[in-house]
Chain A
Amino acid sequence: MTKIFKSDDEENNLEINIEKLSSRRTFLKFSSAAALTAVAFGALNPESLSAKTAFLGLPIDDDKSGVVDVGKGDIGVLNFVYANEQLEAAFYTQVIATPYSAMNSAERAILTDIRDNEVAHREFFRAQLGKKAIPNLQVNFTSVNFNSRESVLQTAMMFEDNGTAALNGGGQLLKNPLFLLIAGKLVSVEARHAATLRDLLRPMSAFFSGDDITDPATGLDPARTPAQALAVIKPYVVTPVSIARLPQPKA
């Protein structure tokens, strides 16, 4: 049987994390150049491009055939968000590495900013979670045509709308108010991404916060449970992810 990765949830609080972070941060500091190189080569490697699959960020140090269990409690929720951020960061890294032919300078600037933001989100979780972080997930974008503006922007919009809805639904699952605040700091940026991508698809229309996503009767964006949000991204994530031990939403 495959080895099952479980994040350590004995010590589900930030203080412990802070202790562990110091060594983690040192590691990141010394390895950041190597990590960047790895990301760049991963993106530029013709073999990985033809396969349209890539390992994200730092080298995987875990059994990559195993199920990744995000864990339980706050750490589990944060790891689930981290999984989403890994996916998004990998996607935009590919988008910028192989830009569609119609990408003008304004769109390139927008998509580069979004890539940078998602990479920052991913690296933040990697650093903050330290030893409790899930390993790097393997993704598969073979269903995306990176040469097609429509395919890229539609996929991006779907990831951003889903990321926003997942954080809206995930807030209530977090016990630590500091983590809730951080989730809040992320979600509005994801929503800004979503609105921007929607405006690129249907400029100057109501689509940036369209009735297809924002309920016109209540003016509310969706809130998705982790299971609902995972179902949306599952076709793009090769590594099996388990969210079975996450807290269950009450609302």
Chain B
Amino acid sequence: MENLNLPLLESVEPDYINEMTARREPIEKAKAMTGAVAATTIISFGALAATAYGQDKKLPGKIVDVLNFALTLEYLEDEFYRTALGSGGLIPQDTQDVFGQISKHETAHVALLRSVLGSKAVAKPNFDFTAGGAFADVFRNYQTFLAVSQAFEDTGVRAYKGQAGNLKSNDKILTVALQIHSVEARHAAMVRRLRGETPWIVGDSRGTLPAATQPVYNGDGNTTQGTVNVAALPGSSAKIASQAFDEPLTKQEVLAIAGLFIRK
């Protein structure tokens, strides 16, 4: 177990942010994180870590596991969008702002989780965004890119939701996880709209996504919450009851999905 009292500012964050900034700059040009923004970011991470997480406390192994699980998903999303934004001609001009914003958030999530984990942070895996060829043109075909993006975002929402209970022992980290979770949901809704889908998940339908993505949606058709059959309530239906509540995925279910994109 590692103490959180790490020299955070000298650890991984500046390098990581600088690296990401350097990669982003040729892509986003004026929209790139400026040095000033990056500096602010580092300071605020330092402040967060120092004041919010309590540097005198050790992070329990259970929380480290959850945060590293989340970090792995954020690595996946971060590299995915940076690669896409750097693939000339892939993302049309009219959605550059949308994906620039999403990419910015994923980079920030990676940096934030790494700052909390310090030396406990897992290394970034090697990704294969074609999933062994299933999405061979993911960075050449905008529709394929959108499909994988939707699958990642909807998975991310369900993944964070499934881990909330495991963070209950630390109010601050639980709250930060929830604050990331709702941003992933914003991303998911937006990408779904770009694909012409409803912004919310109806039943356990993957819509027009390929069959390989069905595990992302399995179980989302649940209509019972607590002890209430929501579908039977006034004004409700099975469709409404399912779309009004997002369902969690277990860590295993998420890793089975994400694992398709991780080189062994």
Chain A residues in the interface with B (C-beta under 8 A): 14, 17-18, 21, 25, 28-29, 32, 35-36, 39, 57, 110, 113, 116-121, 123-124, 127-128, 164, 167-169, 171-172, 177-178, 180-182, 184-196, 199, 204-206, 208-210, 214, 216-223, 249-251
Contacts and interface: CB of A to CB of B under 8 A. Distances in A.
A209 B232 contact: no
In order of increasing CB-CB distance, the 4 nearest A-B pairs are: A219-B108, A191-B185, A219-B105, A188-B185
B244 A121 contact: yes
A48 B191 CA distance: 39
Interface in B11-62: 37, 40-41, 44-45, 48, 52
B244 A209 contact: no
A10 to B, nearest CB: 19
Nearest to A214: B183
A168 B181 CA distance: 9
Interface string B90-118: 00001101101110111111001000000
Q: Could you say which of B37, B172, B178, B246 has the most chain A C-beta atoms within 10 Å of its C-beta?
A: B178
Chain B: interface residue count, which band? 35 or more
B164 A208 contact: no
A171 B174 contact: yes
Given A120-B236, A189-B244, A191-B182, A171 B175 contact: yes
Given A128-B228, A181-B165, A189 B245 contact: yes
Given A116-B235, A189-B244, A217-B40, A195 B186 contact: yes
Contact of A204 (B95, B157, B172): B95
A223 B179 contact: yes
Given A128-B225, A184-B160, A209-B187, 18 more contacts: A14-B227, A28-B233, A36-B234, A116-B235, A116-B243, A117-B244, A119-B236, A128-B227, A164-B182, A188-B184, A189-B200, A193-B200, A194-B186, A206-B100, A210-B101, A219-B105, A219-B183, A220-B176
6 contacts: A21-B228, A172-B175, A184-B248, A189-B246, A191-B185, A251-B172
Contact of A39 (B95, B175, B235): B235
A214 B48 CA distance: 16
B183 A191 contact: yes
Interface in B216-234: 225-228, 230, 232-234
A161 to B, nearest CB: 10
Interface of B: 37, 40-41, 44-45, 48, 52, 94-95, 97-98, 100-102, 104-109, 112, 157, 160-161, 164-165, 168, 171-172, 174-176, 178-190, 193, 198-200, 225-228, 230, 232-236, 240-241, 243-248
A219 B112 contact: yes
Contact of B228 (A124, A187, A205): A124
A184 B185 CA distance: 11
Q: Could you say which of B45, B95, B179 has the most chain A C-beta atoms within 10 Å of its C-beta?
A: B179
A196 B193 contact: yes
Nearest to A220: B179
Contact of B171 (A36, A185, A189, A249): A249
A218 B198 contact: no
A180 B164 contact: yes
Contacts of B45: 218
A168 B37 CA distance: 25
Contacts of A187: 178, 181-182, 185
A177 B165 contact: yes
Contact of B190 (A119, A181, A199): A199
Contact of A251 (B95, B107, B160, B175): B175
B185 A124 contact: no
Contact of A14 (B101, B175, B226): B226
Given A185-B161, A185-B247, A219-B106, A127 B182 contact: no
A199 B245 contact: no
B243 to A, nearest CB: 6
A21 B230 CA distance: 13
A220 to B, nearest CB: 4
Q: Could you say which of A167, A188, A195, A220 has the most chain B C-beta atoms within 10 Å of its C-beta?
A: A188
Contacts of B109: 219
Contacts of A17: 226-227
Contacts of B240: 116-117, 119-120
B190 A219 contact: no
A196 B189 contact: yes
B14 to A, nearest CB: 14
Given A186-B245, A219-B105, A18 B165 contact: no
